[in-house]
Structure 1
């Protein structure tokens, strides 16, 4: 088919889990070696002198020795992002310029560590975006203490404080890098890892973002916890598996005619791997249960993807897909809407129009890696899983009420993106998306949606 649109903070750690980090676009097994500048900055390790060539002036602040087993590391990132969106909120296009500035210091003394990152996030041009997560004048992005130890066959890392968290392929829990203010959590975490396996447990709360200065306090009634385990089943990346449990307690939510406190649990399995011939695969199976006020929660989700790296060109082609449940019967005392909690909002494209709830989607795509240039083209076809439930938009709000349309086809989103790594510090990105509004989406927007975004990032 041709493309037609595109109770408090205290929680007892009861287990252990493995976290695997991934970049924005790929729902793939992660590389074994972290990049020079990691997407989550506390994952960087500058103790290896081979990583500090001395030819780069910023290397001087990446490792500042203080004595035996003690050193400091400094870094930062500055991103300028422009977005132009036409077709969502009336006849005038929304034009907004975002500025994100992050600075961090990382202090190590023997097995102990303290990491602090502060940020200033500004939004100019669109009053509706001049609030979190669009803007936050100045606040603590991350601040935690860490302790490390090693036994004969295992390594232990305990971490307490505000920190970013990215699980698996970032499909359900991510850093939300596409938005101006990244997602962070106030957590206690314990990680145990060994040869071919990781296990981690965490528990804590979600900070309440405010626009002002140093006012992002922990939201004690918004709790989040989980267990996540990763094991390499077959060697050489042929087959790996994640098994996880995530829990969320929110003080007030609304699903159709159901409103109240939500306690939701999610069980999931993720299998992924790649063959020597360049074939890659991934699959998720998820189940959610719990309560919203007096209503029972029972939801499900399936997701996956297949890719092939071509041997005769730096080209990767594939298809991704999701099936996420929606609510079928209003007033039946049951909530069947799948909720993703903290998904990678740029998973479909840089325009986060559709939220992964009540959804069927299929996403053919192609990627060219012509290092230092990367190109990607794809088209996502969206359908409602249940026509009796809404179409949702980030962070889980209703975009098209269930009563507005009985159409299953929502629309299709065509996206073209460019990434150019100018130097090891400087990155340029641009993306264009056109949403061909289907019957369900047209009842809300009245027309197609166009999006253009460009952002430059300087990291050190």
Structure 2
């Protein structure tokens, strides 16, 4: 903590905290201040009215195009939320319009997270505004704008930390088929976020200040047993946001993501996924100590099984990857195995997980075979340490997670990660899949380091959420012998307000 410096940003964040969090907390249940009105003793008895409809615990989802405010259509529902006036609007007969968005502030105090022995204190802001228009049951248009900024930085902003007013989602849905059992087939075309499974391979990456998005087309089949998505898209690269640009984001025709993703969800407390994903990039890309190669195509076939029985929980996911990396033949893979247990009889009902996360590396960088797993376009922040120092490439990670809920609105999380390289002659890759340290001789060994993270999340109400995280990274011999590295510290404070 000694390396976390004070800055005027803290005062700025404190003022915004008072402006946003305190009013949100005070207004958490405005309905509690409204007294009940009962019939007087001289009035005739009346048939009791039907019970008022209740709002779901959280109608907001991620991504926003999954938000569901249909409970407002119930005539017995009594609205006490001031933002309900923006939902279920009827611009013209036969249409329904939802309006909303999010404003977030995230304060970073960092030291050496980029392995450069330098500190950085800065403030990220993000504004998202959306409009969701349904025309009957068969057609829909969804649009979402985003404005992301970074202030007070001492180092150049990372890719994705800045993006001035642009489109994060802009697509149309056409329902092509629907049966009496609720099955549907929908065609979606336009700009859209993608989130699949547990987001280890394909995610919109909500931690990134500018979320990952794509231009393309999808076919979405939903039934009581399976949900199946087939898609062809082009990536909207984060690199075009450098220098705080104001240009409309363009997708890259040289970076294409296609695939088929199926999820079985009819079994209680159990989910099964199966998928084929192909990521093609025809731009020059870095390859550790070997410089630059002329693109790649990574074909990934895998599955995931997650479930629960009584107090025991488990998750397993794995995939094999083949294709080409420059002139090399790709043959790689990854797997994750986790076992957890929830202790219901213990105060705060803690849950303990133990995970082993493995991604293959390249044993011999000089041959014509590429053994390094390509992590595709994932969400690594919640799986591989909150410092975002490593990615799921050439990696072994033994990690433990303890979660406790001292209050229904408060969640506490403690994590410990032990990192090794899977192959000592391959590189260490960061959370974006970019090689950051390499020893092609392998003499530096494979011990990357350890990371301890602590998080407190407070759900003030269905609109406001406050998250505070602190972590410390202990460098291992590999980093010490490939350029040196001091310990890394970080402190994040993140406030979001949805409306």
Residue number in structure 2 paired with 1:204:
233
For 2:401, which of 331, 348, 365 is the aligned residue? 365
Find the residue that maps to 1:168 and give its secondary structure. coil
Q: Does the alignment pair 1:42 with 2:53?
A: no
For 2:281, which of 241, 250, 256 is the aligned residue? 250
Q: After the TM superposition, which residues 323-402 of structure 1 pair with which residues of structure 2 at under 5 Å, given as runs?
A: 323-347=358-382, 348-369=384-405, 370-402=407-439
Residue number in structure 1 paired with 2:446:
408
Find the residue that maps to 2:295 and give its secondary structure. strand
Find the residue that maps to 2:90 and give its secondary structure. strand
Of residues 368-377 and 125-134 in structure 1, the stretch that sits farther from structure 2 once superposed is 125-134
| Cα gap change, 1:59 to 1:457, in 2 (>3 Å) | same
Find the residue that maps to 1:447 and give its secondary structure. coil
Residue number in structure 2 paired with 1:108:
134
Deviations 1:119-166 (A, max 9, x none): 110011226443631111121111000112412442112111111111
8 Å CA contact 1:167–1:173 kept in 2: the answer is: yes
Using the alignment, how far apart are the partners of 2:157 and 2:381 within structure 1? 20
8 Å CA contact 1:280–1:306 kept in 2: the answer is: yes
For 2:301, which of 267, 287, 292 is the aligned residue? 267
Using the alignment, how far apart are the partners of 1:456 and 1:295 within structure 2? 45
Q: After the TM superposition, which residues 172-191 of structure 1 pair with which residues of structure 2 at under 5 Å, given as runs?
A: 172-191=201-220
| Cα gap change, 1:70 to 1:417, in 2 (>3 Å) | same
| Cα gap change, 1:305 to 1:35, in 2 (>3 Å) | farther
Residue number in structure 2 paired with 1:456:
495
Using the alignment, how far apart are the partners of 1:353 and 1:306 within structure 2? 24
| Cα gap change, 1:86 to 1:424, in 2 (>3 Å) | same
Instruction: Please give the TM-score of this superposition, normalised by the length of structure 1.
Output: 0.88
8 Å CA contact 2:111–2:489 kept in 1: the answer is: yes
Deviations 1:218-259 (A, max 9, x none): 1111101110111247x312x432110000110222324261
Q: Does the alignment pair 1:434 with 2:467?
A: no
| Cα gap change, 1:438 to 1:248, in 2 (>3 Å) | same
Instruction: Please give the TM-score of this superposition, normalised by the length of structure 2.
Output: 0.82
Moved over 6 A (4+): none
Shift of 1:423: 1.8
Residue number in structure 2 paired with 1:17:
none
Instruction: Name the larger-Rg structure.
Output: 2
Using the alignment, how far apart are the partners of 1:101 and 1:232 within structure 2? 34
8 Å CA contact 1:54–1:60 kept in 2: the answer is: no
Using the alignment, how far apart are the partners of 2:139 and 2:497 within structure 1? 29
Larger fraction in strand: 1
Using the alignment, how far apart are the partners of 1:91 and 1:340 within structure 2? 27
8 Å CA contact 2:121–2:154 kept in 1: the answer is: no
For 1:292, which of 315, 320, 325 is the aligned residue? 325
Using the alignment, how far apart are the partners of 1:34 and 1:227 within structure 2? 32
| Cα gap change, 1:62 to 1:214, in 2 (>3 Å) | farther
Deviations 1:419-448 (A, max 9, x none): 001121111100001001111123345211
Using the alignment, how far apart are the partners of 1:37 and 1:439 within structure 2? 45
Shift of 1:316: 0.7
| Cα gap change, 1:129 to 1:109, in 2 (>3 Å) | farther
Using the alignment, how far apart are the partners of 1:170 and 1:304 within structure 2? 15
Larger relative CO (CA 8 A, sep 6+): 1 or 2?
1
Using the alignment, how far apart are the partners of 2:247 and 2:201 within structure 1? 28
Using the alignment, how far apart are the partners of 2:57 and 2:231 within structure 1? 22
| Cα gap change, 1:90 to 1:408, in 2 (>3 Å) | closer
Using the alignment, how far apart are the partners of 2:358 and 2:417 within structure 1? 13
| Cα gap change, 1:49 to 1:113, in 2 (>3 Å) | same
Shift of 1:68: 3.9
Residue number in structure 2 paired with 1:78:
103
Give 5+ residue unaligned stretches, structure 1: 1-32
How many positions carry a matched residue from both structures?
A: 425
Using the alignment, how far apart are the partners of 1:156 and 1:35 within structure 2? 26
Shift of 1:200: 1.0
8 Å CA contact 2:120–2:155 kept in 1: the answer is: no
